[in-house]
Structure 1
Amino acid sequence: MSNTAVAPEKVVNPVRPTGHKILEIIKETKTEWTFRLENSLPIQDGQFMQLSIPRVGEAPISVSGYGPGYCDFTIRNVGKVTKELFSMKKGDTIFMRGAYGHGWPLENFAGKNMLIVAGGTGVAPIKTLVSKLCQNPENYGEIYLILGFKDSESILFRETLTKWQQTPHFHVVYTLDNEEYLDWETGLVTKFIPNVPFADFNDKYECVVVGPPVMMRFATMSLGENGVPDEKIWVSYERNMSCGIGKCGHCRIDSTYVCVDGPVFNYSEAKNLQD
């Protein structure tokens, strides 16, 4: 029997954040900026990270972009943590942990026609998904985008929106709630859902809906009215996600933990997630 000592396995703390430098800050609007952080942590489209500032607090933020050595977060200045973030500059350090949760089910989308409906900051969680569809058009059918913002001052990702508009097989509607604006439609996103040719898809399609709760409610309702079954609708929910690993219970609805079981859900399940 050997007397050689065996080193204990290193225990990894799943909620311990690490420091990441700010590589760039892109001022999308007056109240919404994109922070590009150095990053080597693995990410799936649709997941979120917990961003924190020592002695200030922590906030869950969806990933709006990523690539070799970096990831992006598009953040609205609405609270204590985000207010402190907006006072930071390139080269400063933000602490981060994750990525957490289930992302978009790309395996379900392969070879399908896609409808993506998003509003306001809800465009951030679908940005990496749409970019992937744009980069690999041969893997999908026709892509329909209906993206809405409150007004011209709140438009996010202007250069990216233009790129999507010019992509073959993309059918794009960009709309503002109550403002007339050059080359943009006017009206809520639900106004344009009936124009999508679902009958031509021969049941080979999937739908994604992300945005404020009221917008998501009426968008999913409109999809149902146009014959789209719940099983073909995917949504992303936000709900007081704190620990990210299903332990604290802040995001729990019945037996579902949004941070672990979501934030992406099939609507056949998500429609029953009510307090």
Structure 2
Amino acid sequence: MAETFAEGLDLPRPVRIVARRRESEDVFSIVLEPEGPFRYVPGQFNMLALPGVGEVAISIAPAPGDDGTGACGRIQHTIRIVGRVTRALAALPAGAVIGLRGPFGRGWPVAEARGRDLVLVSGGLGLAPLSPVMEYVLARRGDYGRVTLLHGIRRPGELFFRDRIDRWRAAPGTEVLLATDHADAHWQEHVGVVTTLFDVVELDPQRTVAMTCGPEPMMRFTAIHLLHKRGMAPERIFLSEERNMQCGVGRCGHCQIGPRFVCTDGPVFALPELGRYLKVEGF
């Protein structure tokens, strides 16, 4: 049987950059305006393409004014400059056109988490894939219990989304705690790795859903703490994995973890699906 190809999944669709912003020394955001409806689930990703340069998988972040679904007609990608494609994307001005495939993958279980408390734990650029959860939940605030976001960075200059963080902190029933490994004279928040913030966080393991994204060691220690020190059920701990995704549709095999592909089975996984590969005791 011949394969079928769909524009937007196998073939990039052209999209225009309508805004761009420097977030930190090596992180920038671009806002895209797809033609026609574009909806996504918080936690999904797109493949961004530049002809003659390459293609890269980037998590979807909500554009200003969006509720974490794409309903506003625009989407945002917050990107760290780490290679040829991201460096080329960073050089593009507003008005430039790039290729987009997606959305791909399994997102955060925001619908299933209704009625529960949420604990979100991010490190570095991991805040970007979790930011749609914050916007989604705050746009539907009555559907959720208490929301706690713990975010860690290496240095204060790496903090981005400062305006969003201020807005999230002002929301009812919402707590945002920040930590840095190396503080400067102006830092007024916690000093230490992000997982030390658990020392000042109260949570009810019976009604909490946890979502974490960031460096793999951070996610592993977060899972260990929630599982063994807070008594959370492993099936209510979710992690977003990052791998070298090149196709987005489970064909190339570059993103395989054990029997699963990050691009199609993830990038969001429940802990029991990945525990043994993250070396979390008990799996």
> Are 1:194 and 1:226, in contact at CA under 8 Å, matched by a contact in 2?
no
Which residue number in structure 2 is paired with residue 126 of structure 1? 130
**Cα distance in 1, alignment partners of residues 46 and 268 from structure 2:** 14
Secondary structure in structure 2 of the residue aligned to 1:131: helix
Alignment-mate amino acid for residue 29 of structure 1: S
C-alpha distance in structure 1 between counterparts of 2:5 and 2:126, whole Å:
36
1:196 matched residue in structure 2: 201
Q: Larger radius of gyration, structure 1 or 2?
A: 1
Asked if structure 2 preserves the Cα contact closer than 8 Å seen for 1:112 and 1:206, the reply is yes
Match of 1:7 in 2: none
- 1:213 corresponds to which of 216, 220, 223: 216
Amino acid at match of 1:113: D
Q: Is 2:136 the counterpart of 1:139?
A: no
The answer as to whether partners of 1:48 and 1:63 remain within 8 angstroms in 2 is yes
Q: 2:6 aligns with which of 1, 12, 23?
A: 12
Cα deviation, 1:163-211, whole Å, max 9, x if unaligned, reads 011111012211111205443111111111133223xx36111111110
Q: Which amino acid aligns with 1:30?
A: E
Query: What is the aligned-residue RMSD (CA, Å)?
Result: 1.7
CA distance, structure 2, for counterparts of residue 177 and residue 135 of structure 1: 32
Task: Give the counterpart letter for 2:193 in structure 1.
Answer: L
Match of 1:25 among 10, 15, 20: 20
Match of 1:41 in 2: 38
Q: Cα deviations across residues 43-99 of structure 1 (Å, max 9, x unaligned)?
A: 111000000100100000000114422110000111000111111100001111000
Q: 1:249 to 1:274 in 2, by over 3 A?
A: farther
The TM-score with structure 2 as length reference comes to 0.89
> Secondary structure of 1:42's partner?
coil
Which residue of 56, 60, 63 maps to 1:59?
Answer: 56
* 2:178 paired residue among 174, 177, 182: 174
Structure 1 spans left out of the alignment, 5+ residues: 1-9
Aligned partners of 2:165 and 2:176 also within 8 Å: no
Q: Structure 1 stretch 189-198 or stretch 47-56: which is displaced more?
A: 189-198
SS of the residue corresponding to residue 106 of structure 1 reads coil
For 1:55, give the aligned amino acid: G
**Corresponding letter in the other structure for 2:192:** G
Q: Point out where structure 2 has 5 or more consecutive residues left out of the alignment.
A: 64-69
Higher mean C-alpha displacement, 58-67 vs 23-32: 58-67
Give 1:248 shift: 1.2
Q: Is the 8 A contact 2:62 2:132 kept in 1?
A: yes
Aligned length: 264
Q: Deviations over 1:11-52 (max 9, x none)?
A: 635310011110000111121000001123321110000001
State, as a whole percentage, how many aligned pairs show the same letter.
32
Q: CA deviation at 1:274?
A: 5.9
Amino acid at match of 2:199: P
Q: Which amino acid aligns with 1:43?
A: Y
TM-score, normalized by length of structure 1? Answer: 0.91
Q: Give the aligned residue type for 1:218.
A: F
Please give the secondary structure, in 2, of the residue aligned with 1:108: coil
Q: Which runs of at least 4 in structure 1 moved beyond 4 Å after TM superposition? A: none
CA distance in 1, matches of 2:278, 2:167: 37
1:244 is aligned, of 223, 227, 248, to 248
Letter in 2 for 1:220: A
AA at the equivalent of 2:6: V
By how many angstroms is 1:254 displaced? 2.9
Q: Does 51-60 or 66-75 show the bigger shift?
A: 66-75
